[in-house]
Chain A
Amino acid sequence: MMEVSFAIFRKQEGEERLSMSELSLPSQFESFGDARKQGFIAVKNLKEQGKKVAGVFCTYAPQELILAAGAVPIGLCAFSDETIPDAEKVLPRNLCPLVKSSYGFAITEKCPYMYFSDLMIGETTCDGKKKMYELLGKIKNMHVMQLPQNQTDEISKELWYQEVLRLKARIEQDFGVTITDEDIRAAIKTKNEERKVLKEFYELSKACPPPITGSEQLKVLYGSQFKFDQETKIREIREIIEKIKADQEKGVQNVSPSAKRILITGCPLAGVTEKVVKAIEESGGVVVAYENCIGIKPVERLVDETMDDPYRAIADRYLQIGCSVMTPNNNRFELLSRLVKEFKVDGVVEMTLQACHTYNLETAQIRELMQKEDVPFISIETDYSTSDVAQLKTRLAAFIEMLP
């Protein structure tokens, strides 16, 4: 059993940082999922080996740059309401819970990943995040990329390309390294490998019935963020795929053929919001696809490995991610239209977080799109509490009962 006092992490004014071997795991160790939990130890070990850690929030942060610098990228978005009361001492109440929770974990130093981050990378995505980054910048080493909100015009593309170069310079400076052409090309290659294997993994659920449940799929998708060695991560996902395929060949059936096939779209879903997946899968549904930040959205596109300028290739690829901060957000619509067919979806559930204006506003267009595609659609708004679990269950069960 690990010692569980995180208080010693807090660096007092003028006090020397404690040596890594004295560090212990934070108090909410038990409340995180396994990969995230294991990751605490892994990242602590990496730090002890002298590795640099770069924390990222959104999917627009080009992870290739971090890998090329020999550093470790780690997802920082928080999915628990534990630190929201602390965050609300500074932030307004009617703000997205993800923003509040993330900030709360940073100020309370309850998230080891934030604690270990030598650099935090944010982008000007939604209003909540970009203004929160300003506050975070006062206490953390923060780099904010100016994300344009249009994906097609030349000026936006050029701005984003320049921002990728600016991030490269920042990483090189902060980590004291030089990213060579060879480094960046190798990083592009390994990230593409990861995307390909993840895609192969989630596409297994195109089968009817899917070989795994939606909560099992999510465990791998979310957990993959907390595997810090690229080769090991790719190998482990590959092993899962082989295991599932072997089970399929043996005729093992984990999911009822009559389970309604659900695609989830909307805000980032993990941690406490897994209540949505649970409600669906306890009510005769099975989640086959996640068109979310943790899921298909950031994985489908590859970085072009043939382009002369690898930074241009990175910029072009990342800018195309279909988040609701984009206007218009055609890439999300196109992806959704394609996925509902490819995964033979019976119904689409959109999960939005309270006060997430961009997703909440985009709901009207998604509803219209799903009507056009003739796919039943429901949008539910939730937060990081568990007070609405019974209501969610009623709503989602009723939706599934309605599916033809």
Chain B
Amino acid sequence: MKKYFLGIDSGSTLCKAVVMNTEGILDTYAVKTGWNPYVSARESLEVLKKRNGLSDDEVCIATTGYGREAIDFADYTVTEITCHAYGGVYLMPDIQGIIDIGGQDSKVIQIQNGRPINFLMNDKCAAGTGRFLKMACDTLEIPLESIDEFTHPQEAVSINSMCTVFAESEIIGLLAMQKDRSQIMAGVLQSIARKIQQQAGKIDFIKDKPILMTGGLSRSQKLIETIADFIGFEVKTCPQALFAGAIGACIHAMNKEKN
């Protein structure tokens, strides 16, 4: 069995990579996926190998995410749903579910005894995804990483359009009415939370266990609070939640190598 496991989660926006051994996480790396998922995945691999002094023959590689099919140097490929579940349970063992909001999709996964048992995924629509938030940030001229500073949940104005294109027009209309952009941003977060609520509502969650939020949007505490409010369950995150998919890929590779 190889000693090191390298998980690459090639998402639509960010390529996240993690190197682990059986003791735990050794290093992480994230880079823009760019137009060629192969290039960013290769870069992640090389950077992590170099930084940790690893050679090819001691590293087992597993890939996940949209770009996984484009990466030909992996020992294993596995879907991001399974990976987020494994990674999520690794980061927070007592969770009953995961909400993963990424660049182009959102997923709600149900976990039982550390295993994924059910999931819902949005399709053919940017509502409730990172793209939707990115559009709003661009229109409002708010940097994506500072949305929490620009959000006033108490004074949220409602954004009714689920469609990203129509929502943009709606936001422009609200700006023309001189609404404050922090009120509008709060409305945008509520719109994402409503979409997640629709998905989470189809899963039988229980009261006393937390749901872990992963993916790029887990960096906004205000969004997490808004989602928790809408779905009525405790939603938590942790600093490494962005890497949940990549961690899960490592764990998948570890399990496979053990067998």
Residue positions of A touching B, CB distance < 8 A: 381, 387-388, 390-391, 394-395, 397-398, 401-402
B119 at the interface (CB under 8 A from A): yes
Interface of A is mostly: helix
Q: How many A-B residue pairs have CB under 8 A?
A: 37
**Interface segment, B49-57, B74-82, B163-171?**
B74-82
Closest to B80 in A: A394
Q: List 14 A-B contacts (CB under 8 A).
A: A381-B123, A388-B123, A390-B69, A394-B66, A394-B81, A395-B81, A395-B121, A397-B78, A398-B80, A398-B82, A398-B119, A401-B81, A401-B116, A402-B115
Closest to A401 in B: B82
For chain B, the count of residues having a C-beta within 8 Å of the partner chain is 16
> With contacts A390-B69, A398-B82 known, what are 13 further pairs, Cβ within 8 A?
A388-B123, A388-B124, A391-B105, A391-B124, A397-B78, A397-B79, A398-B79, A398-B80, A401-B81, A402-B82, A402-B115, A402-B117, A402-B119
A55 to chain B, nearest CB (A): 32
- Scan B103-147; emit 1 where CB is below 8 A from any A CB, else 0: 001000000000111110101100000000000000000000000
A390–B66 contact, CB under 8 A?
A: yes
- Distance between Cα atoms of A387 and B79 in the complex (Å): 19
A401–B79 contact, CB under 8 A?
A: yes
Chain A positions within 8 Å of B69 at CB level: 390
Closest to A397 in B: B79
Closest to A377 in B: B118
Closest to B77 in A: A397
- Scan B58-82; emit 1 where CB is below 8 A from any A CB, else 0: 0000000010010000000011111
A278 to chain B, nearest CB (A): 14
A387–B81 contact, CB under 8 A?
A: no
Chain A positions within 8 Å of B123 at CB level: 381, 388, 391
A402–B116 contact, CB under 8 A?
A: yes
- Distance between Cα atoms of A398 and B84 in the complex (Å): 11
Chain B positions within 8 Å of A398 at CB level: 79-82, 116, 119
A162 to chain B, nearest CB (A): 43
Closest to B105 in A: A391
Chain A positions within 8 Å of B117 at CB level: 402
Q: Which of A395, A398, A402 has the most CB of B within 10 A?
A: A398
Chain B positions within 8 Å of A390 at CB level: 66, 69
- Distance between Cα atoms of A146 and B119 in the complex (Å): 41
- Distance between Cα atoms of A398 and B117 in the complex (Å): 10
A49 to chain B, nearest CB (A): 48
Chain A positions within 8 Å of B80 at CB level: 394, 398
Closest to B117 in A: A402
Closest to A354 in B: B124
